[in-house]
Amino acid sequence: MKFTIRGRVYDISREDILKAIEGVEPEPLTGKRKYYIEAHGRKYPIKQVIGLALGLPRASFTAMDAYRILTKLGFEVREAGTRLRRELAELIFSNLAERMSTHEGLEAFATCRAKFEGWLKVELAAVLKKRFENIVPEKDGIDLVADGWAFEIKTINTSYRRPGTVQKTRPITENIEGVVNDVKKLRKLRGYEGKAVVFVVFPLPRKSLKAWEQHLEKVRSELEELRHRSFSFKNNVPGTLYIGFVR
């Protein structure tokens, strides 16, 4: 099949692709190398594949060129980490949200709009232990490191009116800025397979969601993916647990 890259025509087949990467060690799926194909029982970054098959330097073609060629030849191009992110989010939501919903001591924090990041860090470590072997707090200035993953943790106490809570003025913009700064710090890290920020927002009544979304967009724009799950503390104060995956 013929393909054109920057005005030059290449003729290549599916068999040519498989032959070019046979016996070759796949490059690690980190950083910009997040799209891959599976061949010979291994995962190969798509730009490595096309570079080998066509004998081209990486700078002479784009990931989109590689994607176009490989899909046309019948390969399924996948995104690294998608399944793991989904599994991590579900693990954290199902365990941590339930824990916050039933914990008697957290009622006082929710009522008084008080932060509880120390508690959250300990509980998250326990949850991550179900998936990772080594959990290390405060490594490289990061709240939690789980094997090759780095996690930053925040609690955001809002000023939205909610019966049953002490009304206080909380600078939500400063809270948002803190999460954004955590994301930027994680982005600069090198040598980690994955990076995520975990944060709890409370109280977050339904009538305030529209106002909250305007603030949340500042965080979302810095992330590759943001997932959430709503819950209520034991005293019915509403909150939302978020996990954001860093590019």
Q: How far apart are CA 80 and CA 26, in angstroms?
A: 13
Neighbours of 6 (CB within 10 A): 9
Q: What pLDDT digit, counting tens, does each position of 117-140 carry?
A: 999 999 999 999 999 999 999 999
Q: How far apart are CA 205 and CA 4, in angstroms?
A: 54
With residue 119 as reference, give the H or E element that holds it.
helix 117-128
Model-level pTM greater than 0.75?
A: no
Q: What pLDDT digit, counting tens, does each position of 25-82 carry?
A: 999 887 667 789 999 999 899 999 999 999 999 999 999 999 999 999 999 998 776 7
**What average pLDDT does this structure show over 143-156?**
95
Q: What pLDDT digit, counting tens, does each position of 233-245 carry?
A: 999 999 999 999 9
Q: Is 100 left (phi over 0), alpha (psi -120 to 50) or beta?
A: alpha
Confidence category of residue 168, pLDDT binned at 50, 70, 90: confident
**Residue 170 pLDDT exceeds 70:** no
- What percent of the chain clears pLDDT 90, i.e. is strictly above it? 84
Q: How far apart are CA 136 and CA 124, in angstroms?
A: 12
